[in-house]
């Protein structure tokens, strides 16, 4: 539709950069989870293995939203749907 390929690729790169900002949220969330897990182990060192496995499970689930952002970035950079759509 009259757009230069380079222009679309540049916009895709900016979009990919914006998409991985999604990583901020899970980073904060995982940090909070790890902090609380450390506090829990400090209060009750006997439950260390249970606390650790629960923390890892919760962190992995919280990580999903960040990974969706990463997927969008990878799709924008390497699958390049917008270039095909514009031509």
Partner 1 sequence: MGEGILLSESGGVDFMIHGVCSYELFGQTVWITTTHVCVLIVFLIIIGFCIAANRAVKHATEVPGAFQNVVELIVEMLDKMVSGVMGPQAVRFRNYIGTIFIFILFSNISGLLGLRPPTADYGVTLALGVITFTLIHFNKFKYKKVSGVLKGLCEPWPIWAPINIISDLAVPISLSLRLFANVLSGTAIMALIYALLSKVAIIWPAALHVYFDLFSGAIQTYVFCMLTMTYVTDACDTGE
By CB under 8 A, name the binding residues for partner 1. 5-6, 9-10, 13, 53, 56-57, 60-61, 63-64, 67-68, 70-71, 74, 77-78, 80
The least distance separating partner 1 from the CB of residue 58, rounded to whole angstroms, comes to 10
In sequence order, which residues have a C-beta less than 8 Å from that of residue 70 and are 6 or more positions away? 19, 20, 22, 23
What is the rounded distance in angstroms from the CA atom of residue 38 to the CA atom of residue 31? 10
The least distance separating partner 1 from the CB of residue 43, rounded to whole angstroms, comes to 22
Token digits for 63?
Answer: 């990580």
In this complex, which beta carbon is closest to partner 1, that of residue 1 or of residue 6? 6
């Amino acid at each position: 539709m009259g757009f230069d390929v380079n222009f679309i690729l540049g916009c895709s790169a900016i979009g990919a950069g914006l998409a991985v900002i999604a990583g901020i949220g899970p980073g904060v969330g995982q940090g909070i989870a790890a902090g609380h897990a450390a506090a829990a182990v400090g209060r009750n060192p006997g439950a260390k293995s249970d606390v650790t496995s629960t923390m890892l499970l919760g962190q992995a689930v919280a990580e999903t939203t960040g990974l969706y952002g990463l997927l969008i970035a990878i799709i924008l950079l390497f699958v390049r749907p917008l270039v095909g759509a514009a031509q």
